């Protein structure tokens, strides 16, 4: 099974709201990723967790706050977002073994609209 699940599928929020995106995988993967994808563009890496520790933060604004409660779960907490943050947010996971050229498996994404 190579499934990564994400909830919710769609989310509409105001600029003063707080919401969270959730991602789950049960493949035993130890690396998990958040990407942001705008229309007609490739995904842009936001965060990487490796063995439940944040290993890469691609200069993402603090209104995005990632959390990795355990090896299967990844959250993205959202607060005071701007309309330009509207996008498809993708979660991915990979085995996480260092020194190997990893395959990433993607979830279906959460389509976020900020009003």
Partner 1 sequence: GNSVTQMEGPVTLSEEAFLTINCTYTATGYPSLFWYVQYPGEGLQLLLKATKADDKGSNKGFEATYRKETTSFHLEKGSVQVSDSAVYFCALSDQAGNQFYFGTGTSLTVIP
Report the alpha-carbon distance of residue 47 to residue 45 in Å, rounded: 6
The answer to whether residue 108 forms part of the interface with partner 1 (CB under 8 A) is yes
- Which positions from 44 through 103 interact with partner 1, judged by CB under 8 A? 45, 48, 50, 55-56, 88, 90, 92, 94, 96-103
* Cβ-based nearer residue to partner 1, 64 or 105: 105
How near is the Cβ of 103 to partner 1 at its closest, in Å? 6
Report the alpha-carbon distance of residue 69 to residue 106 in Å, rounded: 19
Report the alpha-carbon distance of residue 7 to residue 85 in Å, rounded: 18
Among 40, 53, 59, 70, binds partner 1 (CB under 8 A): 40
Burial of 34 (0-12, 13-18, 19+ CB in 10 A): buried
* Cβ-based nearer residue to partner 1, 9 or 16: 9
């Amino acid at each position: 099974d190579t499934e990564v699940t994400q909830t919710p599928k769609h989310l509409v929020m105001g600029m003063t709201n707080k919401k969270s995106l959730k991602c789950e995988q049960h493949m035993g993967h130890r690396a998990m990723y958040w990407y942001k994808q705008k229309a007609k563009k490739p995904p842009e890496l936001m965060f990487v967790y490796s063995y439940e520790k944040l290993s890469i933060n691609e200069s993402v604004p603090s209104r995005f706050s990632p959390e990795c409660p355990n090896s299967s779960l990844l959250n993205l907490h959202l607060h005071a977002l701007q309309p330009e943050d509207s996008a498809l947010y993708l979660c991915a996971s990979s085995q996480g073994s260092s020194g190997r050229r990893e395959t990433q498996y993607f979830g279906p994404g959460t389509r976020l609209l900020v009003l």
